[in-house]
Amino acid sequence: MSDATTTGASPPRDEGPRGVFETFTLKGFLDWRRVQRNGAAANGTHHEETYKLFAADGAVQARLRKLPERLLTVVDKAIVEFGGAVPRALYERLAFPEPWGGGEWREALESRFLGTVAPLDLTRFGIHANDETLVLFHEVVLARLRALGDERPVAVASEVVMGVDLASDLARFLAFLGEDHVRFTVHGELFKTSERRLVDQFVPGCDPRSKEPSRQEVLDFIYRFALSEGLIARTGERTYAVSERGRAWEKRPLDEKHPDLLRFALDERGLPGEPLHQAGLRRRLLKFLKRCTPERWYDAMYVPFVARNAYLSGLERLPIAEFLAARHGDAHAAEDLQQMGWHLLGWVRRRLALLGVVDLGLDAVGRPVAIRLSRLGARLLGVLGTESPIHEGQSHLVVNPSFEIVLLPEGEEFEIVHALDRFCLRVRHELLYHYEITEESVRRGLRDGMSLSAMFGWLGRYARAPIPQNVVFSMREWGARAGVVALDGAAIRGERPEVLDRIAADARLSEIVAGRPSPTELALAPGFARDRVERAIAELGLFLDAP
């Protein structure tokens, strides 16, 4: 069957101006061609059916195979390495296999509804692009990248899997501030000594050879998030303390924390790229990421490229040109087409990987070459339900008398990992999670707002056997030394008399303490305000547990 029979006659030359949408998308090109040939009153239903036919993956592949072999080589390189948009000046600087084809390429591509070669000026949108440009339609790029992903799976030598590490590190950050005075400079920056002590609290990296991300970058993100969300507050002594909002944050379930972290990362400034564009690009990227198969590797630039192209195709529907004209007079071109894609990949590496939304695949020398949507990310983006297949009574934890805990991952262990990270020391994470319970880790969990009863609850619900008695005894002893007391009806009880001495001597509570039946019990006056007692105990640096 001839090309003319398959695709129709060649489109007319220079019949009218084309906008960005008509240049970057097959749908826009067909709209433009229909209007030029038949006027706006042409049959829209028939046109939509034609678009669906030509946009189908199989149809795109069939039309690509009809290209001359030398042009198909150029097209594949343009799609894989540049996302389907290559300005002539860039093309001629690089090692493409063929000389620039110009009008000949335009004829071959447009006649097969694959793309175009056309003048492209995006400077009014603050994008450095004003040149004759080889453009493969967005739908064609998407279909070709999908096909090439199946034909040439990316080779991954090692993985960076963050999981819930960021949420756990944020919990440790807040727990540390609850115990130590972390000072900041007159410019609001943390002192280097405080930074070093803080990063030492973080969970160990999943791969010590990987630099993605650095522990310093994790701290920087957590610090700015905590400030922005009001989880920490500045004191008059130029130190930080955990705010009421911060204490409430740690009581929230994990599925409520991650959306807030993602929202902050979406609008975050300070990373490479024009913020005006990056906010929209990131949201486009999440939409395409939702279409990826969870736990399947994709080339690292696959989602950034298709998200960039989709964003570019909608530029004229956004008030960007008007905004830039009002702000600068003349729009300032901050980044070119290729940089937009690379900056978006940088956000994926530095933020979505940090959040555990995606995992990174590294090559043999440690460079990120692939990404995959994690199960945690699939849950966060609504691809998978939030119901966990891990239920109480199932056996997932081994608690040894040596205070070692081994977690057997079942694919949905996020809540358990986060809980253990709060009151245990993560020793390592390979195929299994290995933890150790120490006095300091229990104290840290208490500072983070986790009661001793909650710690026993997590261990008891998921352990394969009853918790060893020496572990129970030691945890209770450590809790008592840290200052754990219980509010039981109208009495405060604790195992250490000196702790109750501090409570009885506190001016805020002395008037409601009615007596002391025993060294380890304080009787409270009738009608006392429970919230007042709870607040005073917390401000004394003690911890309230269930009776």
Q: Is the dihedral of CA 459, 460, 465, 470 positive or negative?
A: positive
Tokens of residue 245, six digits: 């909002």
Looking at residue 8, its pLDDT comes to 40
pTM for the whole thing? 0.86
Looking at residue 326, its pLDDT comes to 74
Question: Which residues of the chain carry a pLDDT beneath 50?
Answer: 1-14, 208, 389-393, 395
Looking at residue 389, its pLDDT comes to 47
Contact 171, 420 (CB under 8 A): no
Q: Which residues contact 110 (CB under 8 A, 6 or more apart)?
A: 10, 11, 29, 116
Looking at residue 43, its pLDDT comes to 55
Looking at residue 39, its pLDDT comes to 63
End-to-end C-alpha distance for the chain, whole angstroms: 82
386-419 pLDDT per residue, tens: 555 444 445 478 999 999 999 987 766 888 999 9
Q: Which residues of 155-180 are buried (b: 16+ CB within 10 A; e: fewer)?
A: ebeeebbbbbbbbbbbbbbbbbbbee
Using CA atoms of 327, 332, 336, 337 in order, give the dihedral in degrees to the nearest 10: 30
Looking at residue 195, its pLDDT comes to 85
Domain residue ranges of the chain, discontinuous segments joined by +: 3-151, 153-386, 397-477, 483-545
Burial of 138 (0-12, 13-18, 19+ CB in 10 A): buried
152 residue type, one letter: R
359-372 pLDDT per residue, tens: 999 999 888 999 99
